[in-house]
Every structure is written in C-alpha cells, then in structure tokens.
Structure 1
Amino acid sequence: MYEEFRLKLNIILLDDFQKELLESSILNLQTDSKLRFNNFAYSLRELSRHFLKSLAPDELINNSVWFKNETKIKNKYSRGERIKYAIQGGLEDRFLEREIMTIQELSSIKKKITDSIEILNKYTHINNNTFNISEQLVKELSNLIMNSFIEFTETITNTRKIIIKSIEDNLSAQIFEKAMCDISEDVDILATHHWMEEVHIDRFHITELNSRVIKIKAEGITEFLLQWGSDGDNRRGDGHQSNIFFPFTAYFTLQLCKNLNNSKPEILDYNIDTSSLYE
C-alpha cells in the first residue's frame, strides 16, 4: 500500500524536500508511537501545503489580474487563490470559458481539490478517536488520507495539463513560423549571403501562463540558402550555393487577445545550432 503511494507521488512531487517529507511521513506509520497516525496525517497536510505553494508562488498570484486578496491581509493568500493559480496560472475565468472549459466545470474541479484537502485537515487534530488507534484503523484511515492526497495532487496536475494541451492544440505553428521569417542574424557569419527559405516548427510547448501573455518554447528546423562569393562569382563558377538545414530553439511570448488565433507572438530569444556546418 505504502509503496504504491510513494511511487505515484514521487512522479508528481516537485523537489527533493517534498520527496523527503513524503518519506518521513510514511515512516511515521512504521513506528510504535501512539501518535503515529496523527503525525502521518499532519505531515501529509504540511506536504500538501508545500506542494500547493510551489505551484502557486505568492508573487505570481499577486500579479494575476483575477487576484482579489480574499484574506484581506497583505501578503497572505487564501487556499482557494492558490488552487486557482495552480490550475490555471494567471489566466482569467472568462478566457478559459471561451477557449477550454465552462465556469461550472472549473468550479467543480476546484471543489474536488478543496474536499480532498479537508480530509487531510480532518485528521491532523489529536482526539480520542484518532489517538492510539488500532492497527486496523490506522490502515483504514491512512488509506483514506493517501487516496485523498493522490486525488488532490493528480486533480491539480491533470487539470493544468488539460488546459495547457488545449491551448497548444488550438495554436497553429504557422503563427510562430511567420514571426521568425525575417530572423537569421546567427547565420550572417557563415557565408557571403544567405536567405531563409523555410521554417518548420516540430514542437512547441507552454512554459508559463500569465494573465496577459503565454510564454512558449518552440523547437524545429530552419532551411537556409547559403552563398559564398558574389552573384558574379557564382555566374563565373567561382562561388558556391548550398541549401543547409539547422535546428533551432526559440522562445516567444504570446500577447493574448479574445481569440487565441488572433494573439500575436513576439520572439524573446532565438538560437540556431550551426555546429553541423563545422563537422
């Protein structure tokens, strides 16, 4: 039971601290302490807090256009606001409803996550019905908490994946290819003249969701026509032309409009790997 729980979470947890906290939480159940179950429940509740905060840092929540400061306390963020950012980043509800899912679906997912956290919270307090309980009850309640924790983490990560994949599926590689057509400075030093013939984006994925922009990493192949010598040299046979393909990596921001297809990409960074020319 514990090994399956450990394996599932080690795939989802985000850093070594969280994984070490998971291991220590499970070790609580393998002691003879009368508090073993309480310590296990408390440790997992704390792990859920760290996991959620790592997905929803204070600064990013604060910079989201939907942020309303539900706690009314400066620099303090509600659990609901952290859940919201962990799922959808800085994207507004109306954007999600227009492009991906209804507000009702989104609310249902958030309630499912909140309910899972409430189960974790329920057993962190030491009461007569949770203190020094039987081995059988430890197993039953531990299993309940572990299933709730898995549901909590998987619902967040799976929903975010759905949102990101839906956006990626609705973006056309052509809008990024078009933005790159005039960029070829990295090839200047390779030949007397060069022309970019084609740009082919093989894959791209979203790296960050903000309120007004989406950050995207793209990878693919560019085709260049390289010319050594002048046009006159080439006519006389003293020059040379060759079509060469180079892999590239590009980073974009996509300024969000009402419709994804009308959103405009801007290039942040663009790197062409020309090392094959020297091999």
Structure 2
Amino acid sequence: MVGEMERVVEVEVPAVAVHERAYAMVDMAPTTFTRDAMSGAAMVLERQDNPIRLNLFAIAIRIYLDHLMDALAPRDQVEASRWFQPEEDAEGPTRRQRLAYGLHGGLTPAEVLELTNYDTEELLQEVTAAYRKLNKHVHGREKTIVHEVAEQDSVVRATLDALTALHETTRECRREIVDEIADALDSQAIEQFVTRTVEELDIMATHHTVDWVGVDERRIVKIDARLIEYEVVGWVGVTLLYGSGGDRRRGEGAEMNEEFPYEVRFQVPVEHPHDLSGAEITSAIDTSAWYGDDEDEDDEPGNDKLVGDVDPDFDPGF
C-alpha cells in the first residue's frame, strides 16, 4: 500500500562456531609447526562431547604461542634490543617482552608510537591476559574442569580474539612502520642508488649514465635488535655508452637507451631509521633480458632472479 511504512525484519546472524574460527586462523600462522598446532586446536574444539575439550585446546594454544615466539622473537635478539630490561626472577625474556619484539623489533615503544600512532601496550595487555586465563586450563584438575560448552567457548573466543588482534596489529604496525620510513627514505634511496657504480652495467658497455629511477615497491625486509633492512624495487633507465666521447663524435662509438629492473637494499641502524649516512647499501640489477636469458621467466622486478626473494608478510627476524 502506498505510504505504508515498510517493516524492517531483523535477522539474527548465528555466531561462527569456535572450531571454524580456529580453522580460519591456520593460514595466519608463520610456520608449518604453528599451523599444525592451530589445526590441532581446531580439531579439539569440534568434539564438544570431550570432557577435557578446553584443557586440550589450552595445551595446543600454549604450544602455538611458544613456537610463534620462537619464530617471531628469538631470545638473543630480544635481549640485544635497546629497550630490553631483565625482569626479576625471570630466566631470559618474558613472554610479554617477546610479544613486544614480535610487534616492533628493536624499535622502542615510544618510537613506534611516534612513527605509527600505535600504542602497543593495550594489545600486549589483552594478549597476556587471555594467555594467563587460558593457562589455568593447561593443568587440568578434577575440580577445575569446565564442563559447560558455552563457558568453554567463551574462553576460546577471548583467546582467539586476542590472537587475531596480535596477528592483525603486527601486520598493520609493520606496514605503517614501512610507510613512514619509506616516505623519508625514497629520495635518499634514489640518490644513493644513482651515485653508485653497478657492476652489472659496467660489464655491458664502456660507460653508462643513469637517466631515471622508478620505484614500484618499497618494504621493510627485517627489523631486528640492531638494524632495519629496507628494500626498494623498481626500474632504472640507463644510457649505455660504447667507445670514448671522441669515438662517438666520429661515428665510431654508439649510445643505447635501455631499461632494467633493479633491487636496492639498505641496512639502517634501528635507532636512526631515517638516517642513511651510515647505511650499508647493496644493489642488484636484473640484466638477463639483455642476454636473452629470460624466455621462461617473468621479468618484472622482484622475480626469482633478484637477490633475496623475501616473504613480505613474515620474517623470523622481525
């Protein structure tokens, strides 16, 4: 009927089952073993009739988190970080300190806040609180077993929420660090690159000049306790010069304009992420197309020919 107010029917969306959430998190794990641990946790959750379901889940997540820390935060790197302070009665870095290293490496929390506006303290509190609550169920006792599935699922959801936040914030925090450092390094990176003699080009012509440098991708490969390793990938336009200037004026030399993919990596002290004055810089240019060696290869920057094919989403040192 014209003018009649339409009825809005609200449909309640059922919550995702906890075992399905756990299975969905398997791909977030950085190593084969941590993926196996999360898969095991999900399998345990499927059996709601298991009287120690929550306890077995707690054991699987403890294994997962311990090995996640081994991958993201090696103890020697945590201890070498400027911000590390040994805690009383602790044998080496605490779990909280290793989580902090997994988030921002050797950067201090204050530096992370300045670079990204991320306050890592809140996330660390959430993850450690969830872990402490879950850890109570690792060692099952007759009077502490949780039998109600709804109560079990409540603990499971809080744990999975905290782990999801850890993974997502780690990725977002790293990406913001990359962007902030990249914004400051781009012009310097190009300047450093064009002033260096690149061996791959020297063997192709008597001389060469760099005409332009294009940046396609920029990323942080690794942040450890002492260094930030940064990478720029793109294309370089060059003029290859054959013969001397006099030879070319007499028509006996030649000039050729070419374009090649390149990769530049920097190692910058972590306490001065924007300062390239003391940076160690290595360069690589893929000249295989010049020699006809790329018939079956993708000649875009970042292919397997370039030095150091690194997974941008995970590095054990960061």
TM tier relative to shorter chain: 0.7 to 0.9
Equivalent pair of 2:115/2:176 in contact (CA under 8 Å): no
Which of 49, 62, 70 matches 1:45? 62
Measured against aligned partners, the alpha-carbon deviations of 1:100-134 in whole angstroms (never above 9, x if no partner) come to 337xx332232222223223223334245653724
C-alpha distance in structure 2 between counterparts of 1:245 and 1:207, whole Å:
25
User: How far 1:276 sits from its partner (Å)?
Assistant: 2.0
1:45-64 map, 5 Å: 45-64=62-81
- Contact 1:12/1:153, CA 8 A, preserved across alignment: yes
Q: Is 2:79 the counterpart of 1:85?
A: no
Aligned to 2:297: none
TM-score, normalising length: structure 1: 0.84
Distance 2:271 2:95 in 1: 29
Tell me whether 172-181 or 87-96 shows the greater mean CA deviation.
Answer: 87-96
Match of 2:133 among 119, 123, 144: 119
How many angstroms apart in 1 are the aligned matches of 2:160 and 2:107? 30
Aligned CA distance change for structure 1 residues 180 and 132 (closer, same or farther; 3 Å): closer
Match of 1:254, SS state, is: strand
**In the superposition, relative to structure 1, how do residues 42 and 202 fare at CA in structure 2: closer, same or farther (>3 Å)?**
same
TM-score, with normalisation over the residues of structure 2? 0.75
Counterpart in the other structure of 1:264: 277
* Structure 1 residues 22-56: Cα deviation after superposition (integer angstroms, max 9, x where no partner): 12222223445422221112211221222133211
Q: Which runs of 5+ in 2 are unaligned?
A: 1-16, 293-318
Q: Provide the C-alpha distance between the structure 2 equivalents of 1:187 and 1:227, rounded to a whole number of angstroms.
A: 10
3-state SS of paired residue (1:198): strand
Residue 106 of structure 1: which of 115, 120, 138 is its match? 120
Query: Measured at CA, do residues 116 and 156 of structure 1 come closer, stay the same or move farther in structure 2, by a change above 3 Å?
Result: farther
Decide whether aligned partners of structure 1 residues 123 and 164 sit closer, same or farther in structure 2, where only a CA change above 3 A counts.
Answer: farther
Kindly indicate which of the two structures has a greater share of residues assigned to helix: 1
Tell me, which stretches of 5 or more residues in structure 1 are unaligned? none
Is 2:198 aligned against 1:181? no
Q: Is the counterpart of residue 231 in structure 1 residue 245 in structure 2?
A: yes
- The structure-2 alpha-carbon separation of the partners of 1:109 and 1:272, relative to structure 1 and needing over 3 Å to count, comes to same
Contact in 2 for aligned 1:198/1:224 (Cα 8 Å) = yes
Residue 19 (1) aligns with residue 35 (2): yes
Identical aligned residues as a percent: 24
| Residue correspondences, number | 273
Structure 1 175/60 Cα, relative in aligned 2: closer, same or farther at 3 Å? same
- The answer as to 2:207 corresponding to 1:193 is yes
Structure 1 residues 154, 264: closer, same or farther in 2, change over 3 A?
Answer: same
2:173 corresponds to which residue?
A: 159
Q: Cα RMSD between the aligned structures? A: 2.7
In the TM superposition, what whole-angstrom CA distance separates every residue of 1:191-239 from its partner, at most 9, and x where no partner exists? 1222222223322111122455311111111222112233233222232
1:276 is matched with 289
Q: Which residue identity is paired with 1:230?
A: S
Structure 1 SS opposite 2:235: strand
Counterparts in 2 of 1:128-147, with a 5 A limit?
128=142, 131=145, 133-147=147-161
Asked whether the equivalents of residues 100 and 120 of structure 2 are also in contact (C-alpha less than 8 Å), the reply is: no
